[in-house]
Amino acid sequence: MLEGDIPSAMNPPSGCPFQTRCRWKSEVPGGLCEREVPPVRHLAEGHQVKCHLADDILARMEPVIKIAAE
């Protein structure tokens, strides 16, 4: 479960749509999460992410959702 404030659908925050609920945004320098929507980044094994976190931080994380191959 995500913690923090649920962003308003009528008046969304600037920057990343998850920045009001992200416990990792303090790891991103310069307040980038609050200013810019992150671009899509392609990771290993066909995974994609929209996040400003550095690659070394992302590499230490486990996926929240795993989809089994059919």
In the chain, domain spans:
1-65
- Find out whether 20 and 4 touch, Cβ atoms under 8 Å: yes
Encoding tokens for residue 46? 């066909």
pTM: 0.69
Nearest-5° Cα angle at 53, 49 to 56: 100
pLDDT at 58: 86
Q: Using alpha carbons, list the distances in angstroms from residue 13 to 25, 51, 55, 56.
A: 14, 16, 25, 27
Using CA of residue 10, residue 65, residue 55, residue 49, what is the dihedral sign? Answer: negative
| pLDDT tens digits, one per residue of 21-56 | 888 999 999 999 999 999 999 877 777 889 999 989
Cα–Cα distance for residue pair 66/11, rounded to 1 Å: 31
Does residue 1 carry a pLDDT above 60?
Answer: no
Q: What digits encode the pLDDT tens for the residues 4-19?
A: 667 666 777 789 988 8
